[in-house]
Structure 1
């Protein structure tokens, strides 16, 4: 799935770790990702978290998509920062899953995401 993800690859997102129910990915904030306040546009932070969430919920045998996700931005990030996202599965039941994603710069947490997935039939 990640190999076919053109959006993530265009932004330089790198897969660092993948196992059943967990994933880690990273991205460096570029000049084009910074908003008018000089901080990383929240959409790019969310995109990294969403990609990592997708990797974790697709780490099992069934294809899955996001049913919903909620993000809390805790600290701003800036051009040149290397964001690392870690996703972990909290529960899987029926066609549903719950995942938590933490986005960091170094050891500092900059965002937290709770995502809910739903499995779909493969095309």
Structure 2
């Protein structure tokens, strides 16, 4: 499978990303650009996007970019900085870019923006390569 086919394979099994209505926009090896519309069920008590939703969206971007070569990797450490509150009706985009790779780990920078290209969050994720193929799991 190529990178796009592998990412689609992962999405087909990822019911939470499906619930978030994540769309794969651009998939290349160790890279992804995904999109998600913000719906009412994603808001917190202050009527802004729940931080857990923003984190989960970035985590999905990490999964699609770090696994799309077919070699399985799992999150080892992740951190997020929330820069601007999202609201219902927004469309979030996450771009995940590989910044460092070793034999067993890789680090990705993930930027989340809205439909106006405003910065919503900055996420850094480290993955651990588990020496298995995505298709085996």
| Normalised-by-shorter TM-score class | over 0.9
Aligned length: 123
Alignment match of 1:9 (pick from 13, 18, 28)? 18
CA distance in 2, matches of 1:40, 1:61: 32
TM-score (norm 1): 0.96
CA distance in 1, matches of 2:18, 2:11: 8
Alignment match of 2:121 (pick from 80, 101, 111)? 111
CA distance in 1, matches of 2:36, 2:70: 27
**Structure (1 or 2) with the greater helix fraction:** 2
Unaligned runs of 5+ in 2: 1-9
Aligned-residue CA RMSD in angstroms?
A: 1.0
Alignment of 1:24-39 (within 5 A): 24-39=33-48
Alignment match of 2:70 (pick from 44, 61, 78)? 61
TM-score (norm 2): 0.86
Other structure's SS at 2:41 match: helix
CA deviation profile, 1:77-118 (whole Å, cap 9, x unmatched): 100000000000001101100000000013111100000001
CA distance in 2, matches of 1:10, 1:37: 22
CA distance in 2, matches of 1:119, 1:2: 19
Question: Are 2:83 and 1:74 aligned?
Answer: yes
Unaligned runs of 5+ in 1: none
CA distance in 2, matches of 1:119, 1:87: 17
Q: Which runs of 4+ in 1 moved over 3 A?
A: none
